[in-house]
Chains A and B, each alone.
Chain A
Amino acid sequence: MTAEHEITLTVNGTARRVTVPGRRLLSDCLRHDVGLTGTHVGCEHGVCGCCTVLLDGQPVRSCLTFAVTVDGREITTVEGLAGPEGLSPVQRAFAECHALQCGFCTPGFLCTVTALLRENPAPTDEEVLEGISGNLCRCTGYQNIAKAVHRAAELLAEEA
């Protein structure tokens, strides 16, 4: 039987204490131990980006991260992107530009794009493509996702 570890994660601003075996993936921990199922799992080998969450603000693949290795760290999942006034500019831009269909890849894109625009508030077309090129979407063909990134940049600038 694998040893259990007690760890504390700050998820979307709330401290969560969980007991997990050393091999527990962060994706499974968030989804099944913390109960936040917005983070999705599309491959479990680090390629699709569905499982992307923000770890201390940086996008990481939660399927390639053991939960025990992020003890004490801050995690933002898709559930934590909206503010008290509702959906974030990135989320609203995705709706406006029809940047999602089945929505399975969407949480990963939202986390990725949120970090991208924090770093680079006015990306060029090239930079947008580059920025989203680590996430797979099987539904949209990406065109509207790229459009949504630009639109989110606009909204963020307007609301700054």
Chain B
Amino acid sequence: MTTKLFGEPVQRREDPRLLAGHGRYLDDLGSGALAVAFVRSPHAHARIRDIDVAPALDVDGLVAIYTWEDLPERVGRPLPLLIPHPALTHGRTAYPLARDVVRHVGEPVVMVVATDRYLAEDVCALIEVDYEPLKAVVGLEEAAHGAALVHDDVPGNVGAHLVQEVLSAAGRGAAEAIEAAPHTLAFRLDIERSASTPLEGRGVYARWDGTDLRVYSSTQTSTSVRMAIAAALGLPLPHVEVIAPDVGGGFGVKIVHPWPEEILVPWAAMLLGRELKWTEDRREHFIAAAHERGQVQHVRVGFDDDGRVLGLDVTILHDHGAYTPYGIIVPIITATQLLGPYRIGAYRVEFSAVYTNTVQVTPYRGAGRPQGVFCMERTMDKIARYLGKDRTQVREVNFIQPDEFPYDQGMIFQDGRPLIYDSGDYPRMLRMVKELIGWDDFRPAPGRGIGIGCYVEGTGVGPYEGGHVQITSDGRVHVSTGLTSQGQGHETVFAQIAADRLGVPIERVSVVTGDTRRFGYAVGTFASRAAVMSGNAIALACAKVREKALRIAGDALEADPADLTISEGLVHVAGSPSASIPLSTVAVLANPLRYAFDEETAKATQFAGTASPDRPPVAEGEEPGLEGRGYYSPIRSTFAAGMHAAIVETDPLTAEIKVVRYVVVHDCGKLINPMIVEGQIHGGVAQGIGGALYERMAYDADGQLQNASFMDFLMPYATEVPRIETGHLETPSPLNPLGIKGAGEAGVIPVSAVIASALEDAEGIEIDRMPISPSELFDLRGG
């Protein structure tokens, strides 16, 4: 039997290429393409009076200039609203190029094509746009106040309003349950804006050959970009291919599509009959892509003497920026995932999502969960503080118990399906995290505190993913799946699954993701779903291929397929490796041939004597080739969980904050590759530390983003991230054949809650808004 790879820290198959500098990222392609640049709005809110391109017309190398007026009707329509929801009563999306009004700094107004990017930017600088500035709506409270409007036809700036309520076992609503509870608390919690900020920005490269359009995009969903482009440009789907090449990080922002640029660049490439490329620069990414996180949350909680929550009422104000292409997924996730590992008596959550004249808000790794977890975990800490109890005890009395799974939280999750947790063991996880950090032995001291945070994460959301597996006549295995990769190691983990399932050495397996030429049906990479969805789909495809291989080999070896097995790429009778046939030959036999082109394929030709003359060469219901497809479509999401704890130290004078220990216990079901899972957790925690201590989007009252550069938006360097100690618990998911749950977002989710908890312990001051800087801590201390 070939060594088992599933569960092993197999080294990454993508690394040699990336380490040698041979990665193919978007801007590494299309060396002969014309360059695209955009004139973007310098105002947060303004009416466009006039656009004068005349001063730019003499620039050498200018090819074309387009404004909204130049776009055909179909191309000039507002971008699609990707996820409609009945509660999103006033969804609004942008035009690909601004029409009459701009609603945030960075909105594209004019598109320029030139022979090189420097020249395209020269042209942009010379185009004169006359704006009539309008009142900018900035900040949640100003937006909610509704005095000035972002969209004239959206009263009060309210895009969506949603209430979900779960009654207690006794049939009580939250208000009543809180009223009747022995103790109640009420407080407000704030989280600032941050953003995914991958090191590679967005980018689009398009080529049109007169019949077929091929588009490369640095995206998290090539299949859906393809459908969006086909629809916008009026092209039949089979004539459009979209490829996500190597992508330099996504973290959520690149799931949004179609970006204006994803429509405009292919459109102009067709019109001009030239290859076109647009590569986003860093400032563009800050002001024209997407942000997340910004929410204000009001909590009321009622609890008993043990700290058991009897009723919880949360009101969320969510800032979705200027437009809502991604709907209201973020606040929906906050509202539902807030419940974490707890059974809450009665729960009511209400959110209003309001427009502001800022960059649109769409999911960033964690996607609303960091805010929800911050709410719930702050609540647990406050209850403990009020009752004078240990913070872990209060959590423990509220945990869902291992024998209560599947556990129905009584709500509707982001996939439109019931929020039912499939499996988990929260008490055990708490014991593990306490032991790892030494919770019970920790001696608090002034300026030194310990904190904890727990979360549950719905992962692997549907509707489906697919996989295609083909064994070619050289014995190589080619795996493809439609979803995309941005550094998660899919080429490795999917190869591990295929190698195991097919009994071939991993060196013979290659994996392609995000290329619609290879696999056209997919949803995308987000919501910690890739391993669960495509992993299982590929396993199912492998099962089909394996079955076919055994059947063909059984004919050739005159053996019962049930007695056959595959190892090291050889099909043989189990226990007797002497009678064997290589998969390469099986692949040849699977495809009856008329013409031979080498010795191997000669075996499949009509006079080779390998096929029975009494049966059709391709039996009824069969297909030529040793290949198969599999699709995995789960009934609902699978729920991973984790608990983090940290020790922080603060400087008595400068209020500088240092995270001295950070521990993570994580349960994502069965691990395919522990090395990769651990890497995902490290990266997530680092982003969480950024969100807890450094990162914020500093908009001024006029809607100018004051820190739109890496100089001013403080992403953690190596010196800011603590060493992360990890422990794993494996409660397999009963929902999928591989028993796995998602891991991609886990690291980031509870970090703000954990750091707040530890800081509160160190300082004895309530920490109710994140991130927190040394100067803010200094101020909280009373200066």
CB-defined contacts of A96 to chain B, threshold 8 Å: 11
CB-defined contacts of B686 to chain A, threshold 8 Å: 140-142
Complex: A37 Cα to B679 Cα, angstroms: 26
Given B18, B199, B679, which contacts A98 in the complex, CB threshold below 8 Å? B679
A15 within 8 A of B: no
A104 x B200 contact (CB < 8 A): yes
A144 within 8 A of B: yes
Chain B stretch 650-683: residues in CB contact (< 8 A) with chain A:
675-676, 678-679, 681-683
B21 x A78 contact (CB < 8 A): yes
Complex: A1 Cα to B12 Cα, angstroms: 47
Complex: A136 Cα to B31 Cα, angstroms: 27
B198 x A82 contact (CB < 8 A): no
A40-B248, A145-B718 are known contacts. Are A106 and B19 too (CB-CB below 8 A)? yes
The winner among B18, B27, B282 for most chain A CB atoms within 10 A is: B18
A121 within 8 A of B: no
Complex: A138 Cα to B23 Cα, angstroms: 17
Chain A stretch 28-84: residues in CB contact (< 8 A) with chain B:
28, 31-32, 35-45, 47-48, 50, 77-79, 81-82
User: Which segment, of B447-455, B481-489, B598-606, faces chain A?
Assistant: B481-489
CB-defined contacts of A77 to chain B, threshold 8 Å: 21
A141-B685, A142-B686, A142-B721 are known contacts. Are A95 and B11 too (CB-CB below 8 A)? yes
Chain A stretch 96-155: residues in CB contact (< 8 A) with chain B:
96, 98, 100-107, 110, 129-130, 132-146
B717 x A135 contact (CB < 8 A): yes
CB-defined contacts of B676 to chain A, threshold 8 Å: 98
Complex: A48 Cα to B281 Cα, angstroms: 13
Complex: A103 Cα to B675 Cα, angstroms: 16
A103 x B717 contact (CB < 8 A): no
The distance from the CB of A147 to the nearest CB of chain B, in whole angstroms, is 10
The distance from the CB of B514 to the nearest CB of chain A, in whole angstroms, is 13
A95 x B198 contact (CB < 8 A): no
B721 x A103 contact (CB < 8 A): no
Annotate B693-718 by CB proximity to A: 1 below 8 A, 0 otherwise: 00000000000000001110001011
B249 x A139 contact (CB < 8 A): yes
The winner among B11, B676, B710, B715 for most chain A CB atoms within 10 A is: B710
Please name the residue on chain B nearest to A136 by beta carbon: B715
Complex: A130 Cα to B717 Cα, angstroms: 10
Given B24, B281, B488, B715, which contacts A44 in the complex, CB threshold below 8 Å? B281
Given B21, B249, B682, which contacts A144 in the complex, CB threshold below 8 Å? B682
B197 within 8 A of A: yes
Given A38, A82, A91, A132, which contacts B23 in the complex, CB threshold below 8 Å? A38
B60 within 8 A of A: yes
The distance from the CB of B43 to the nearest CB of chain A, in whole angstroms, is 23
Complex: A50 Cα to B391 Cα, angstroms: 43
**Chain A residues with a Cβ closer than 8 Å to the other chain, count:** 58
Please name the residue on chain A nearest to B679 by beta carbon: A98
Complex: A133 Cα to B718 Cα, angstroms: 5
The winner among B282, B486, B683 for most chain A CB atoms within 10 A is: B683
The distance from the CB of B752 to the nearest CB of chain A, in whole angstroms, is 16
A45 x B710 contact (CB < 8 A): yes
Annotate B563-588 by CB proximity to A: 1 below 8 A, 0 otherwise: 00000000000000000000000000
Complex: A52 Cα to B174 Cα, angstroms: 57
CB-defined contacts of A145 to chain B, threshold 8 Å: 718
Complex: A106 Cα to B21 Cα, angstroms: 9
A17 within 8 A of B: no
A102 x B679 contact (CB < 8 A): no
B612 within 8 A of A: no
The winner among A31, A79, A138 for most chain B CB atoms within 10 A is: A138
Complex: A100 Cα to B250 Cα, angstroms: 14
A5 within 8 A of B: no
A138 x B488 contact (CB < 8 A): no
Annotate B1-34 by CB proximity to A: 1 below 8 A, 0 otherwise: 0000000000110111011111111011001000
Complex: A86 Cα to B28 Cα, angstroms: 23
Complex: A133 Cα to B15 Cα, angstroms: 22
Complex: A96 Cα to B18 Cα, angstroms: 13
A98-B675, A142-B718 are known contacts. Are A32 and B19 too (CB-CB below 8 A)? no
The distance from the CB of B32 to the nearest CB of chain A, in whole angstroms, is 10
Please name the residue on chain B nearest to A103 by beta carbon: B18
CB-defined contacts of A36 to chain B, threshold 8 Å: 21
A42 x B19 contact (CB < 8 A): no
A37-B28, A43-B282, A146-B718 are known contacts. Are A102 and B247 too (CB-CB below 8 A)? yes
A16 within 8 A of B: no
Complex: A1 Cα to B61 Cα, angstroms: 10
Complex: A22 Cα to B775 Cα, angstroms: 43
The distance from the CB of B115 to the nearest CB of chain A, in whole angstroms, is 12
Given A31, A130, A132, which contacts B27 in the complex, CB threshold below 8 Å? A31
Please name the residue on chain A nearest to B282 by beta carbon: A43
CB-defined contacts of B19 to chain A, threshold 8 Å: 78, 87, 91, 94-95, 100, 103, 106, 110
A21 x B682 contact (CB < 8 A): no
Complex: A143 Cα to B527 Cα, angstroms: 24
Complex: A104 Cα to B218 Cα, angstroms: 12
CB-defined contacts of B198 to chain A, threshold 8 Å: 102, 104, 138
Please name the residue on chain B nearest to A111 by beta carbon: B21
B118 within 8 A of A: yes
Complex: A117 Cα to B725 Cα, angstroms: 27
CB-defined contacts of A101 to chain B, threshold 8 Å: 249, 487-489, 679, 683
Complex: A39 Cα to B27 Cα, angstroms: 11
B246 within 8 A of A: yes
Complex: A28 Cα to B118 Cα, angstroms: 10
Given A35, A47, A79, A143, which contacts B20 in the complex, CB threshold below 8 Å? A79
B27 x A42 contact (CB < 8 A): no
A37-B28, A38-B21, A139-B249 are known contacts. Are A103 and B679 too (CB-CB below 8 A)? no
B724 within 8 A of A: yes
Complex: A82 Cα to B717 Cα, angstroms: 26
Please name the residue on chain A nearest to B247 by beta carbon: A102
B687 within 8 A of A: yes
CB-defined contacts of B25 to chain A, threshold 8 Å: 37, 40, 104
Given B27, B486, B683, B723, which contacts A140 in the complex, CB threshold below 8 Å? B683
CB-defined contacts of A139 to chain B, threshold 8 Å: 249, 487, 679, 683
The distance from the CB of B615 to the nearest CB of chain A, in whole angstroms, is 49
The distance from the CB of A155 to the nearest CB of chain B, in whole angstroms, is 14
CB-defined contacts of B11 to chain A, threshold 8 Å: 95-96, 98
A138 x B31 contact (CB < 8 A): no
Annotate B168-198 by CB proximity to A: 1 below 8 A, 0 otherwise: 0000000000000000000000000000011
Chain B stretch 59-83: residues in CB contact (< 8 A) with chain A:
60
Complex: A157 Cα to B768 Cα, angstroms: 50
A138-B197, A143-B723, A143-B724 are known contacts. Are A100 and B249 too (CB-CB below 8 A)? no
The distance from the CB of A109 to the nearest CB of chain B, in whole angstroms, is 10
Please name the residue on chain B nearest to A36 by beta carbon: B21
B251 within 8 A of A: yes
Given A1, A23, A39, A141, which contacts B683 in the complex, CB threshold below 8 Å? A141
Complex: A50 Cα to B199 Cα, angstroms: 8
Annotate B721-758 by CB proximity to A: 1 below 8 A, 0 otherwise: 10110000000000000000000000100000000000
A-B contact pairs, 24 of them (CB 8 A): A35-B31, A40-B200, A42-B282, A47-B710, A77-B21, A79-B22, A87-B16, A91-B20, A98-B11, A98-B676, A100-B18, A102-B246, A103-B23, A104-B200, A106-B18, A133-B719, A138-B687, A139-B487, A139-B683, A140-B679, A140-B686, A141-B747, A142-B686, A143-B682
Sample of 20 further A-B pairs with CB below 8 A, known A102-B247, A139-B487:
A1-B60, A35-B31, A45-B709, A78-B20, A79-B21, A95-B19, A98-B11, A98-B12, A98-B678, A102-B199, A102-B200, A102-B248, A102-B486, A104-B199, A137-B199, A141-B685, A141-B724, A142-B721, A143-B682, A143-B723
The 5 closest A-B CB pairs, nearest first, are A38-B21, A104-B248, A102-B487, A103-B18, A141-B682
